[in-house]
Structure 1
Amino acid sequence: MNWKRSILAILTILSMYSVFFALSHSLGEPQVQAQLELYQTNLILNASSWNPQQENISNISQNLIGQNPLSVAQFSYEKALNLTSDSLNKLAENEGSIVTETPRQQLKQNIAKNQEVIEDLNLKLAIITAEENNLNLANTYLSKISDQNLINTLNSIWIKREDIDSNAEKIINNRLEGWFQLKTLERLYDVENNQVKLENILDEQQILAQKAITTLFALSLIPVFGGVIGFGILVFLLTQLLLKKQDSILAINYNKTWESPWNWETIWQVFIVGFFFLSQVLLPIIFGVSGFNPAVLDIKGKALYVLCSYFLMAGGGLLVLYLSLKPFFPLPEDWFKLSNKNWYWWGIGGYLVAIPLVFLVSIINQLIWQGRGGSNPLLLLALESQDKFALIIFFVTASIAAPIFEEIMFRGFLLPSLTRYFPVWGSIVLSAVIFAVAHLSLAETIPLAILGIILGIVYTRSRSLLASITVHSLWNSGTLFSLFLLGSS
């Protein structure tokens, strides 16, 4: 083994350890999907108060919110409560094994945060079950809240319906928001027989409900309409493949490989040094030594940090790719080809087909992981951010920079390079699995692998990086759009 391979072996060990550690850590982390479900649940609760005059509009709203929104809301919040309670128990179990001060402080902060979340979930479950007239269960949830003034206030409004504190309105406005606030105020004014305030709060509920209905409809546009169209395209392509076989659209370039003048060592070098080592070892060390802590930044600062760190990673990765392939210049034909005939149709069609496939796989994936397995931290930042500048930065990062860099690396370089050793279909699957693992979230591995396979099929058939970049960009843009709508609700 020469010195180059020795260094590569050391970097591989360091990189794979970091990847394994990140994946293991994600196993105990909640998915962003769990928070998305609560955001959507709150939208459904808000929308449930709507009373449109037209019957056809009422039917549409009923289809959006379902037959029993309170039962759905109770299930979602109980699921979130169980997940958070499990996380708190695991954190408490680990507390005794921490010996250094900084991790111990971080662990205590996480425990305190989980305790706050649990109290908030108990509070909202108390109101949901009280609205369902399940007063015994509501009282059980109320008993788990630490704020005695809040317990007394809600108990007097929802359960006893008497002896209401004069500061009840102020307490409600300080601790509750959205449907939970308005429903509790509605019950308060009803008990107090304050008709003026009661009418005002009912009007406010209608305004919030109409907004929620509009948001739910907008959220359903991409998955429902895009999914139906995508499913139709998929059925057409598979039917044509069965009937026309070699002359079908999916058979285009299906077995055409690339001429690869480099061997496995170059492939290994590019991805270990230019992707995993750079992103998981080198950049974290640089930021750690500098003393820079992105956690103290506001949302704009975090958005800029994400963008800058991604550009550093992408720039370094592309530099390693260039230097690794430079001895083989000029490259054979078809390498890193941007456009080809009908590349845009492949891009749009690939995105539409990805919607129903990834959605179905995600449902199965949820059953497997039960809300665990972590998620991309960028999703949570985008969900919680309503700052326009930050959202633009997130869009540039996720919908422009990431598709370009990742498609060059995974579809432009890795997939074609693998065709030297594997058939095209095997190269598509293997590159998709590596693509999924590179996102460092166990819960997202299967859906991202399916997306990676679709990206690989689009690229191998179209022979255009612009086609796979389009699919990738549309996918990330659709995700950000949904997060923005949910976060603004």
Structure 2
Amino acid sequence: MITLKRLVLTGLTFFVVFLVGSSLIGSWSEPQITSRLQLYQTDLLLQATEFQPEASGANVDSTRTAILGKDPIATSLEQYEDVRQTAQTELDRFQSRLDQVTVADAAAPEFPTSSSDPSKQGQLRTAIRQQQTLIDQLDLRIGILQVEQGQVETALETWSRLTASSNGTRSASDVTASDTRASDATAPPPNRVAETLTGLWSQPPRLLPDVEQQIQENLDGWFRDRALSRLYELQQRPDAISALQQAAQAAAQQTFLKLTLIGVVPIIGCLAGTAILISLLVQRAFRGEQALLAQNGTTIWETPWSGEIVWQVLIAGFFFAGQIVLPLASQLLGIGFSAFDSRARAAYALLYYLAMAGISLFVLYLSIRKFLPLPQEWFRLKSKSNWFLWGGGGYLVALPLMIVVSWINQQVWQGQGGSNPLLQIVLEEGDPIALGMFFATASIAAPIFEEILFRGFLLPSLTRYMSVGWAIALSSLIFATAHLSLAEVLPLTLLGAVLGFVYTRSRSLLSPILLHSLWNSVTMIGLFLLGSGAE
């Protein structure tokens, strides 16, 4: 006979599956952070081109070429044009969806549907505004890159797409986006900046009023320096050119170091990880069951509870209470993440995550407390094996595997599928205290909680019904799905599999916690370096 508890769990399961499925489907149309990261790294690359080391020689030149490439300007232009093409495709798609919603409203205004909901129109108009703003900013920069490639006429045509908006010559979709964007009084019209740049490189040049102020306020980094250099040349100001070059050289030296850290260190890690993986596979081939890869490979946990407890902890504790009830309570209390300033948002993110983890772990404790004391293998933090080597080695092995899977993932999703919103915030954050709190959330709180839940509880519980290998696979898929982004499912499933493999072999939760913390910490540091260098 079905008990009331199972009926409630069944109902909650359908509810959770619906909401999680809706979130995953909704993330399909959201951009990944990958494209933005590429542009930040491209901006660093451009700024580093100004670096002229005092020493010279074949080794110095080869190192500089290895970091910057043979033709960094051409490479940067190609990347910017690729991002613009993707943004234009997204703009056209959003405009098409808005047109469909508008037609549906006109056809049946007295019977509104979810597709013709005014809030849906608002979301689409916001998305259109954001995409058009992105395209405008890209066109400003693409034009400067084209000038540096000697394509002055092409650059003037690029900027004319922006200046044309003031003459009413844009397409219907562009006008809609421009009208929406015009409501933002804090941002100067991009066509004004485009007119300024057009005047600098026209023949004869035309210097508009407040031209230097326009450049300083609306361009940054290498693009600002290129425009200012052109202005000072036209104004015949050698002192200003000299000061600009000195400042650019100092910034380029720091940027070159950042690029070295961002580019070279991961390569070294990948090479080390590949070497470790190959050696482990060779050892497995020659030593068989005595190899490290086979250690504890088939040893299951003694699980005192049934699958209903696992069901209860995941559905009632983690998904429903932690990811549905808690956000709803925050909304009812009027607590909104976007309403806070930088430090308050970071504190809110940390406290919110701790509350979610606390609720989930409390439900876990209530569910298994009648089975206390647990067998010694459960939630074990100590181990006879060297947990530090398992965690650190697992991180290095994960690097080359994740690079391959991430490349495949990018080909599949083509820049869509969503990303963790915290990544974008960290990329653009400049406050060190806020960054510290975000770092604590991602690199301390998240690894401890998620490893206790997914590796410490879920994975061993599944070994009651399946082999260790299948338990690793299923727990990894659930772990990836819980992040609610389609584009992250494949790479996070792989990462979860490495975490699970490390845990089952080391039999210490410290190993996957260390691996998880290293992964998030390096990601956060990389985002900080990219963001701080693109100012």
Short-chain TM bin: over 0.9
- Give the aligned partner of residue 247 of structure 2: 204
Contact 2:159-2:195 at 8 Å conserved across structures: no
Q: State the Cα deviation string for residues 184-203 of structure 1 (Å, max 9, x = none).
A: 11122223333222222222
Moved more, 228-237 or 104-113: 104-113
Q: Give the aligned CA root-mean-square deviation in angstroms.
A: 1.7
Quote the Cα distance in structure 2 between the aligned partners of 1:112 and 1:151: 18
Quote the Cα distance in structure 2 between the aligned partners of 1:132 and 1:246: 60
- Give the aligned partner of residue 124 of structure 1: 141
In the TM superposition, what is the alpha-carbon distance from 1:380 to its structure 2 partner? 0.9
In the TM superposition, what is the alpha-carbon distance from 1:101 to its structure 2 partner? 5.0
Contact 1:365-1:446 at 8 Å conserved across structures: yes
- Give the aligned partner of residue 478 of structure 1: 522
Quote the Cα distance in structure 1 between the aligned partners of 2:290 and 2:197: 69
- Give the aligned partner of residue 150 of structure 1: 193
Alignment counterpart, residue 60 of structure 2, candidates 57, 61, 75:
57
In the TM superposition, what is the alpha-carbon distance from 1:221 to its structure 2 partner? 4.5
* TM-score, L = length of structure 2: 0.88
1:262 aligns with 2:305: yes
Contact 2:28-2:416 at 8 Å conserved across structures: yes
Quote the Cα distance in structure 2 between the aligned partners of 1:272 and 1:148: 52
Contact 1:40-1:486 at 8 Å conserved across structures: yes
1:170 aligns with 2:213: yes
1:87 aligns with 2:104: no
- Give the aligned partner of residue 462 of structure 2: 418
1:250 aligns with 2:277: no
Moved more, 132-141 or 143-152: 143-152
Q: State the Cα deviation string for residues 307-337 of structure 1 (Å, max 9, x = none).
A: 1111111001101111111122221230111
Alignment counterpart, residue 495 of structure 2, candidates 428, 448, 451:
451
Contact 1:19-1:280 at 8 Å conserved across structures: no
Seen in structure 2, the aligned counterparts of structure 1 residues 222 and 17 have a Cα distance that, compared at 3 Å, is farther
* TM-score, L = length of structure 1: 0.96
Contact 1:412-1:465 at 8 Å conserved across structures: yes
Contact 2:300-2:460 at 8 Å conserved across structures: yes
Quote the Cα distance in structure 2 between the aligned partners of 1:23 and 1:30: 13
Quote the Cα distance in structure 1 between the aligned partners of 2:195 and 2:20: 50
Q: State the Cα deviation string for residues 108-155 of structure 1 (Å, max 9, x = none).
A: 333322221111011111111111112232122201225444333212
In the TM superposition, what is the alpha-carbon distance from 1:176 to its structure 2 partner? 1.0
Name the SS of the counterpart of 1:160 in structure 2: coil
Alignment counterpart, residue 113 of structure 1, candidates 118, 130, 150:
130
Contact 2:323-2:356 at 8 Å conserved across structures: no
Quote the Cα distance in structure 2 between the aligned partners of 1:221 and 1:466: 28
In the TM superposition, what is the alpha-carbon distance from 1:103 to its structure 2 partner? 4.9
- Give the aligned partner of residue 430 of structure 1: 474
In the TM superposition, what is the alpha-carbon distance from 1:467 to its structure 2 partner? 0.6
1:68 aligns with 2:71: yes
Alignment counterpart, residue 223 of structure 2, candidates 180, 199, 207:
180
In the TM superposition, what is the alpha-carbon distance from 1:166 to its structure 2 partner? 5.0
Quote the Cα distance in structure 1 between the aligned partners of 2:273 and 2:191: 53
What is the count of residue pairs matched by the alignment? 489
In the TM superposition, what is the alpha-carbon distance from 1:281 to its structure 2 partner? 1.8
Moved more, 77-86 or 409-418: 77-86
Seen in structure 2, the aligned counterparts of structure 1 residues 176 and 262 have a Cα distance that, compared at 3 Å, is same
Q: Which amino acid aligns with 2:35?
A: A
- Give the aligned partner of residue 441 of structure 1: 485
1:394 aligns with 2:438: yes
Seen in structure 2, the aligned counterparts of structure 1 residues 118 and 19 have a Cα distance that, compared at 3 Å, is same
Contact 2:318-2:360 at 8 Å conserved across structures: yes
Contact 1:436-1:448 at 8 Å conserved across structures: yes
Contact 1:258-1:419 at 8 Å conserved across structures: yes
Quote the Cα distance in structure 1 between the aligned partners of 2:510 and 2:19: 32
- Give the aligned partner of residue 269 of structure 2: 226
Moved more, 281-290 or 396-405: 281-290
Name the SS of the counterpart of 1:140 in structure 2: helix
In the TM superposition, what is the alpha-carbon distance from 1:72 to its structure 2 partner? 1.6
Mark the runs of 5 or more structure 1 residues left unpaired by the alignment: none
Name the SS of the counterpart of 1:143 in structure 2: helix
Moved more, 184-193 or 392-401: 184-193
- Give the aligned partner of residue 152 of structure 2: 135
Seen in structure 2, the aligned counterparts of structure 1 residues 209 and 28 have a Cα distance that, compared at 3 Å, is same
Quote the Cα distance in structure 2 between the aligned partners of 1:214 and 1:130: 27
Seen in structure 2, the aligned counterparts of structure 1 residues 245 and 214 have a Cα distance that, compared at 3 Å, is same
- Give the aligned partner of residue 21 of structure 1: 22
